[in-house]
Amino acid sequence: MRRLLAILTAAALLAGCSRRERANPFDPLNPSTRGRPAGFEALAGDGQVLLHWQAVFGDALSGYQLTRRGPGETVFQPVGGVLGLSVTAFRDVPLANDRDYNYKLYFVFQSGPGSRPAEDTATPGSAVPWLIESGGTDLVQGTPDDRHVVARRGGFTSTADVAVSTRDGAVWVADEGAGRVAIYRPQDGVTTTISRLSHPRAVAVDAFDGSGWVCDLGQNLVLHYRANGDAASLPIAPLVDPVDVAVDPQDGSVWVCELGADRVGRYESTSAVWKRTVSQPARVAVDSTTREGWATSYGTGTITHLSFAGDLIGRLTGFRTPLGVAVDARRGRIWIADPGAGQVIALRRDESEEFRVTGLTDAGELAVDARTGDAWVVLAASGQLVRVSPDGAIRRMGGLRNPIAVAVDAGGR
């Protein structure tokens, strides 16, 4: 019995040693780190990449070595010298936009560099994607290469829509649950709040002066605010279930979808220029070149194409539940998101189909980067933000919680 106890004691000690070794962050068999620096991410920005990782300490650890392989290079080169133990971030500048940079981060021990690096890739760019989640409490900022979330800014109750000003990059968030719209300025972190709303459901920003138009379903109004949050004009009324609004950047007139009235109208300030019957209009977008409008009807599976004067140009079928719509005026492309079909469709101005991207389940809303022509699409069910290039190639970022709307600041100001 005593021999058996001795054997069991020795086995327990060996198991304890094994567990302690596996808890060692430098151990290749550690299930969390695999012997690599933990939490390593390369966050792309405009002409730069911010690299960060988690701090680790050990008697034999001296620091970290960052290496990079840039465009046209075949081997990784050190980026500066050995970084100290207290360093957990490094900003790599200046870099070329729209080019891939590959990074490796090594532990550096007293005996020399480790053999198992953490790795990541970043593609700098000027675009800044902003998105919100269904009933969410955060405004989420992504990287221009659609690989990582940069930040979450909380304080919201139940977000419903997001739009961005191409004039100054200000982000407008419809916080339906709190009956307000928040205007966030990334350049200084200041937020302006427009309160005393009922159910702000949709928002659009005028590219010329940075003012915003807000659809308030609870009051059946579309309201107009300056960039500082002050009222810019009297509201558009009376309306029946105004669910979406779009701005013509040439003259500041707005197109409004009235779901409850089966109607799309164009307004100059608060006066209706015309109103046209469109069955169950859900979203509308304006082509700034032709000044024509494209309205989706989720309930009927159709797209309605209207002239600047409100005349019917065409009604397109062949969709299941078209919802999001955005116009790339520079390239003459109209993007449609069809969540029921799990597709994004690219149309030409003549209503012909350019291509379809399939396998995008629950692709509900989208936005276009005016500089690159990329379409950014939210997939609520899978929690993904997908970037579709003009040739149909896609990149996905997951880990989101029911994303329902996206806006893209093309940058370059």
> Cβ atoms within 10 A of the Cβ of 116, count?
15
Calpha distance 350→348 (Å, rounded) = 5
Per-residue pLDDT tens digits for 311-341: 999 999 999 999 999 999 999 999 999 999 9
Which one has a higher pLDDT value, 165 or 18? 165
The two most distant CA atoms of the chain are separated, in Å, by 98
Structural domain contains residue 46: yes
- Within this chain, do residues 382 and 307 fall inside the same structural domain, yes or no? yes
- Within this chain, do residues 97 and 152 fall inside the same structural domain, yes or no? no
Paired tokens of 332: 């003459």
The CATH number given to whatever domain includes residue 187 is 2.130.10.10
- Within this chain, do residues 95 and 210 fall inside the same structural domain, yes or no? no
Among 107, 122, 137, give the residue marking a domain's end. Answer: 122
Domain range enclosing 101: 41-122
Residue 51 has pLDDT above 50, yes or no: yes
Which residues touch 356 (CB under 8 Å, ≥6 apart)?
343, 344, 345, 346
Considering its fold, how many domains does the chain have in total? 2
Residue 6 has pLDDT above 60, yes or no: no
Q: To the nearest whole number, what is the mean pLDDT of the chain? A: 94
Q: What is the CA radius of gyration of the chain?
A: 26
- Within this chain, do residues 54 and 72 fall inside the same structural domain, yes or no? yes
- pLDDT tier, 291 (very low <50, low <70, confident <90, very high otherwise): very high
Among 122, 137, 163, give the residue marking a domain's end. Answer: 122
Calpha distance 251→207 (Å, rounded) = 10
Q: Residue range 9-15: average pLDDT?
A: 43
Calpha distance 80→268 (Å, rounded) = 58
- Within this chain, do residues 81 and 134 fall inside the same structural domain, yes or no? no
The rounded Cα 250 to chain-centroid distance in angstroms is 26
Residue 253 has pLDDT above 80, yes or no: yes
pLDDT for the residue 22:
59
Per-residue pLDDT tens digits for 219-230: 999 999 999 999
Residue 54 has pLDDT above 50, yes or no: yes
- Within this chain, do residues 315 and 367 fall inside the same structural domain, yes or no? yes
- Within this chain, do residues 320 and 405 fall inside the same structural domain, yes or no? yes
Calpha distance 182→109 (Å, rounded) = 49
pLDDT for the residue 25:
76
Structural domain contains residue 28: no
Share of the chain above pLDDT 70, in %: 94
pTM, rounded to two decimals: 0.91
Among 66, 96, 122, give the residue marking a domain's end. Answer: 122
- Within this chain, do residues 339 and 211 fall inside the same structural domain, yes or no? yes
Residue 58 has pLDDT above 90, yes or no: no
Residue 12 has pLDDT above 70, yes or no: no
Q: Residue range 228-246: average pLDDT?
A: 98
